[in-house]
Chain A
Amino acid sequence: MTDMKNTDMEEINIATDVLVLGGGLTGIKAASEIAGSGYKVILVEKDAELGSKKGPELIGLKEEYKGLQDLEDKIKTDSNVEILTQASLVSAAGVTGDFTARLSKGKKVIEHNVGAIVVATDFATGSLNEKYGLSPADNVLTQSRMDELLASEADKEKLANKTVAFLVGLGQEGNPLVLERVLKSTLALQEIDGCDVYIYAGDLKVASNGLERMYKESREKGAVYFKLTEKPEIIENGKTISFFDTVARRNIEISPDLIVVEEELRADQLNERIAEILKIDVGPLGFLQNDNVHFFPVRSNRDGIFVAGSTREISGLPSAWTDVENIALEVRDLLGDGKKSVAKNKAVVNEDKCVICLTCYRCCPHGAIYWGDKKAVISPVACQGCGICASECPMDAIQIGGFSDEEMIEEVKSGVASGNGTPRILAFCCQNSAFEAGEMADIFKMQLPDGLRMIKVPCAGKIDLDYILNAFVAGADGILVMACHPGNCKSEKGNTYAQWRVNDAYRMLEEVGLEKDRLCFVGTASNMGSGFSSIVVDMEKRINELGLSPLK
């Protein structure tokens, strides 16, 4: 938690129902776990039926499949779970602990007040035939088609005495789930009389439990792997496959009866719409989580909205299950018994100053601001106290508990004035990264300039242009703005705002004729003790070359 100087707590009531979007296996499991901890769940599915639309082969869990069906039956009779099929989310207002979700089912619109929202969409498969220059034909199968054939005893028989070639990892980068499907079908084909299997592969993505062993087993049973860096030549729509073997120094040609093409596993097409409604980020490849370590495993950029399994990355059911257990913990922690104790002064809007310009609403990375009667209102539950809004508000209408403008400027001034040591270097340090690194350097007795003063901020986004200018006016010889590395900010873009403000400050320094080198923006991580030391020592060297500040 953030360090609060004036802990002024209040108790508020929060909604304890939970909305789960997506009635696939992950959604079912989430509903079951959350209902199991005593909360009411509304489970929303766009189709008519719950459950996976993919067979046990595709999700790779033949043995466990029965248990999954039992789970589905169980939640259907669970009085704590309300199931809405053929329904979808239309809008979601409010913040964590108090969302108003509107759901449409046929012509009806149903409104629910929920405390948390879990997104559990599925992944979709897409053909990669084109990448290999193949068109659909009797001898060209998608991986999904092969899974279906292998699931049916009658179809399986027809595969006897066939030569089957798989193409994997050459039409896309791929991932362990894609490889697992190939390995599973290969081993299944090897059980059929007279089946020969050839696998043309790019990088084999074996980074998942058990895959290396399956790879070995299939080789021992006679599967032949050609590991290539480029696609092989595919002749006559897959009638023949040929490539040049650099070791044997000759072309290797095979004419398979069937050619099985890997599939792309991609984000659910519902994701974009859901992200828009919930105001959460769309991360790489259309999955609903940014690549930011602070969100792992199951957080979105908004408190109270969680992302599970294939919603956030391509994942098999084992990791989806891990996600769901983590969400169950988060939901319990968030909702508790419906009462929450929160700090009142994390971020407070001054009604008299606010002109409803929308700036704070737009810049809050946690979606914690909404509109009240004639002013912006900040939810004390959703607010993370980062201070980005406070520094962006053109009216200075927002103050952050423990880090008010008055307190900060006082700290800046006394920081520059107090103690010994020149040159006087002021380092604004994000409490999540640079401040930790600075303390580490100090505790481990790494080299630090005598004139260094660290000023802790809740997030680099709180570093106001005013603070920087005030520090120079007070006589600082150099200023460091030390934020998390881009992509590592807990508030996503606090470091970006800090960088912009430093750029603004450069322009002003130029106007008053102060050297640009006196101000520096750097990225730091909490474990960079020696990195911190070398950054500040370098800064001291630069300042010594420039001499003391002419503003002194």
Chain B
Amino acid sequence: MSTENKKVMVVGGGIAGLTAAWELSRFNIDVELIEKTPFLGGYAIRYCCKATDECRQCGACTVEAMLKNVVNEPKIKVHLATDVEKINNRGRLSVDLKKSSYKPDSATEGVVRGYSKNNSPLHVIVDKEKCEENPDAVPEGAVELDTMGFSGKLDVDAVILASGFKPFDAEQKGTYGYKKFPNVVTGMDLELIIRENAIVVRPSDGKTAQKIAFIQCVGSRDESLGNLWCSQVCCPYALRMAERIKHKNADAEITVFYMDIQNAGKDYAGFYEKCKTEFRFVRNIPVDVFPMENDSLSMRYMNEEDGLCINEEFDLLVLSVGIVPGPDNSNLADLFDVGLNEDGFFAGIDKLNSTSTLKDGIFLAGTVGGPKDIAASMAHAGQAASEVIKHLGVS
């Protein structure tokens, strides 16, 4: 075997990066896995199980399994809180790394927690002062962010970019009142709410949400934003979460406002038929949301049957946010000298090989190259690993 000394860098430790790293390690290739935040798993490690009486094939639990594979694999070296600084192309790729400038989104507490038991460390201190005020609240084994991260040079034979996506920032659609009205949440928020609670409650008062509305295509398929793509994941996750809510609370009344419903699962027609018997589907995307008493929300929309406008109140509004290009795409594109497509995702060489790039030795895996669900991100990562192995001439 000529695999000796072959080394590949994977940038991003989401499900795509984890899968790519794991696949390469199976062929005796050394992997350096670079992750900007202090935790592996990306977005998908946060998701809830959407099973009702049966598994709904959302794929969330496979991320947990893959993370476990990776942390137990000695051929994969993980660098948390680390970012790429510079590439020096000389034969092998020489990459300068630096401590990342990671800041948690919500720095309300001094400590941030990972989402999986396989995260190590599990707790990271991001604000020392806050922790000193209340040392008892700091969990045992918590590591200071300042002490994490790797600065230095690594020589590698190929790089897989797997830096992922960004969930659409719902505040950009101001009329929905996200972050203004407490009971307007995003699909990402709902994933966490369901993960922590058996029954879905309203953020404002902790009461069970009975009348729930989902608005689809928030930030996707939107000409005013220039986002001319379907995110592919938000119909499946919204319907699966709605089913899961209904399963735990049969009295919940759920309405889905949509343009076109996309398929979920292999028996998509059967699944959609079942959803139609349980939820109300309205083919209209409301524009304005108004706050009402008790923090309920009122929306105006057009009824399809008679073409009339209706105002209706809901307890909880879920914005089905989609996938937009990752925040580091343009920077990484410059560093690695790889092109982005017209939507701002990384471009593969052609339709059939979307994991290789025009730049020799640089490959793509997962949502860095466009919207994908977990299963498709894993498959894409497998394809990338296969292309890398061919590139390295490993036999």
Partner of A329, one of B61, B65, B385: B385
Give the CA-CA distance A538 to B269 in the complex, in Å.
36
Q: Does B195 contact A (CB under 8 A)?
A: yes
Q: Does A338 contact B (CB under 8 A)?
A: no
Give the CA-CA distance A259 to B376 in the complex, in Å.
35
Q: Does A388 contact B (CB under 8 A)?
A: no
Give the CA-CA distance A205 to B269 in the complex, in Å.
12
Q: Are B221 and A206 in contact (CB under 8 A)?
A: yes
Q: Are B370 and A296 in contact (CB under 8 A)?
A: no
Produce 1/0 per residue, A214-235, CB < 8 A to B: 0010000000000101000000
- With A205-B262, A326-B383, A485-B54 known as contacts, the answer to whether A527 contacts B229 (CB < 8 A) is no
Q: Does B102 contact A (CB under 8 A)?
A: no
Partner of B386, one of A61, A204, A328, A529: A328
Q: Are A322 and B260 in contact (CB under 8 A)?
A: no
Chain B, interface SS category: loop
Q: Does B261 contact A (CB under 8 A)?
A: yes
**Interface stretch among A91-99, A287-295, A506-514?**
A287-295
Q: Does B152 contact A (CB under 8 A)?
A: no
Give the CA-CA distance A176 to B335 in the complex, in Å.
35
Q: Does B136 contact A (CB under 8 A)?
A: no
Q: Does A51 contact B (CB under 8 A)?
A: no
CB-defined contacts of A529 to chain B, threshold 8 Å: 117
CB-defined contacts of A523 to chain B, threshold 8 Å: 51, 53-55
Chain A, interface SS category: loop
CB-defined contacts of B379 to chain A, threshold 8 Å: 296-298, 319, 322-323, 326
Q: Does A433 contact B (CB under 8 A)?
A: yes
Nearest B residue to A441 via CB reads B117
In A506-545, which residues have CB < 8 Å from any B CB? 523, 525-531, 534
- With A291-B266, A329-B386, A485-B55 known as contacts, the answer to whether A526 contacts B65 (CB < 8 A) is yes
Partner of B266, one of A211, A284, A432: A284
Nearest A residue to B307 via CB reads A246
In B248-302, which residues have CB < 8 Å from any A CB? 259-263, 265-270, 272, 283, 302
Q: Are B64 and A436 in contact (CB under 8 A)?
A: yes
Give the CA-CA distance A151 to B282 in the complex, in Å.
39
Q: Does B35 contact A (CB under 8 A)?
A: no
Nearest A residue to B23 via CB reads A329
CB-defined contacts of B116 to chain A, threshold 8 Å: 440, 527
CB-defined contacts of B60 to chain A, threshold 8 Å: 525, 527
Produce 1/0 per residue, A413-455, CB < 8 A to B: 0000000000000000000110010011001110000000000
Give the CA-CA distance A525 to B48 in the complex, in Å.
9
Q: Are A61 and B352 in contact (CB under 8 A)?
A: yes
In B362-395, which residues have CB < 8 Å from any A CB? 370-371, 375-376, 378-380, 382-383, 385-387, 389-390, 395
Q: Are A207 and B235 in contact (CB under 8 A)?
A: yes
- With A293-B55, A443-B117 known as contacts, the answer to whether A213 contacts B62 (CB < 8 A) is no
Give the CA-CA distance A323 to B54 in the complex, in Å.
27
Partner of A64, one of B49, B195, B350: B350
Give the CA-CA distance A289 to B265 in the complex, in Å.
12
Partner of B232, one of A208, A313, A333, A527: A208
Partner of B61, one of A284, A293, A325: A293
Give the CA-CA distance A133 to B304 in the complex, in Å.
25
Give the CA-CA distance A209 to B197 in the complex, in Å.
35
Give the CA-CA distance A175 to B272 in the complex, in Å.
13
Give the CA-CA distance A36 to B281 in the complex, in Å.
50
- With A212-B230, A531-B198 known as contacts, the answer to whether A293 contacts B57 (CB < 8 A) is yes
Q: Are A36 and B196 in contact (CB under 8 A)?
A: no
In B45-97, which residues have CB < 8 Å from any A CB? 45, 47-49, 51, 53-55, 57, 59-65, 68
Nearest B residue to A36 via CB reads B390
Q: Are B352 and A321 in contact (CB under 8 A)?
A: yes
Q: Does B223 contact A (CB under 8 A)?
A: yes
Q: Are B383 and A325 in contact (CB under 8 A)?
A: yes
Give the CA-CA distance A529 to B379 in the complex, in Å.
27
- Among B116, B386, B389: residue with most chain A CB under 10 A: B386
Q: Are A318 and B351 in contact (CB under 8 A)?
A: yes
Q: Are B351 and A61 in contact (CB under 8 A)?
A: yes
Q: Are A212 and B383 in contact (CB under 8 A)?
A: no
Q: Are A440 and B117 in contact (CB under 8 A)?
A: yes
30 A-B pairs in the complex with CB atoms less than 8 angstroms apart: A61-B352, A63-B350, A173-B268, A203-B261, A203-B262, A206-B260, A209-B371, A213-B229, A229-B304, A246-B306, A285-B266, A290-B266, A291-B57, A293-B375, A296-B59, A296-B378, A317-B352, A321-B352, A322-B383, A432-B65, A436-B64, A436-B65, A439-B117, A440-B116, A484-B55, A485-B55, A486-B54, A488-B55, A523-B55, A527-B49
**Beyond known contacts A173-B263, A209-B371, A325-B382: 12 more, CB 8 A cutoff:** A64-B352, A67-B352, A175-B263, A206-B221, A206-B262, A313-B266, A318-B354, A326-B386, A436-B64, A436-B65, A488-B54, A527-B45
